[in-house]
Structure 1
């Protein structure tokens, strides 16, 4: 899935989660179910887990929060890691720069963020 396609789904997830966090109840419309169903695998939530969560508003709300959490935390982790990696690379510490990406890969589950970290390792001359 391309970054554009991800943002086409991740942005509505953020907006929906914002509304729910502000007290608006999640309404499980066909559109909301489709969004959650489509977005879950992009953050490494298995189809069966997502389907099970879509059986009630309470579990679907939990799924929504988890999708948003993975998007947000992964983005922050990757941004911090990339900043450190570039700083270390520019200072001539290629091993330290690689280590930043290895540390992200050790904990990151979102495939898009993992792909970015792996790509950076390749650019630095290390293939995982």
Structure 2
């Protein structure tokens, strides 16, 4: 996975397709975006390739990717706020639990790495 994620292109594509009603066109550029993003949001390569064979299936795949990015971001943001609140109040176990709960359901590797980093930082606290 790339060190520098840029999901703006897939977000913009999803916005055009789902909000503006544009038809998804499977150009070479769009295929590159969808393949890369599928990998980055933990969608099996075989599943992605199969979905990229038709516009309707590729559209469903795009929606799945956009949901994983959006839902994971919201879940992580809420948990981080709670974690910081609990940690600042001296409840390190409660703060850790917030992160463990995210790990239990999160599939996007980037978000998982952030959570694991937060847990490691808390493990270093006295």
Query: What range is the shorter-chain TM-score in?
Result: over 0.9
What are structure 2's unaligned runs of at least 5 residues? none
Q: Which residue pairs with 1:12 in the alignment? A: 9
Q: Name the CA distance, whole Å, in 2 between partners of 1:20 and 1:39.
A: 16
Counterpart selection for 1:75 from 73, 76, 82: 73
Q: Which residue pairs with 1:119 in the alignment? A: 117
Shift of 1:46: 0.9
| Counterparts of residues 56-71 of structure 1 (less than 5 Å) | 56-71=54-69
Q: TM-score, normalization: structure 1?
A: 0.93
Quick check: 117-126 or 95-104, which moved more? Answer: 117-126
Q: TM-score, normalization: structure 2?
A: 0.94
Shift of 1:6: 1.1
Counterpart selection for 1:110 from 105, 108, 111: 108
C-alpha RMSD of matched pairs (Å): 0.9
| Number of positions where the alignment pairs a residue of Structure 1 with one of Structure 2 | 122
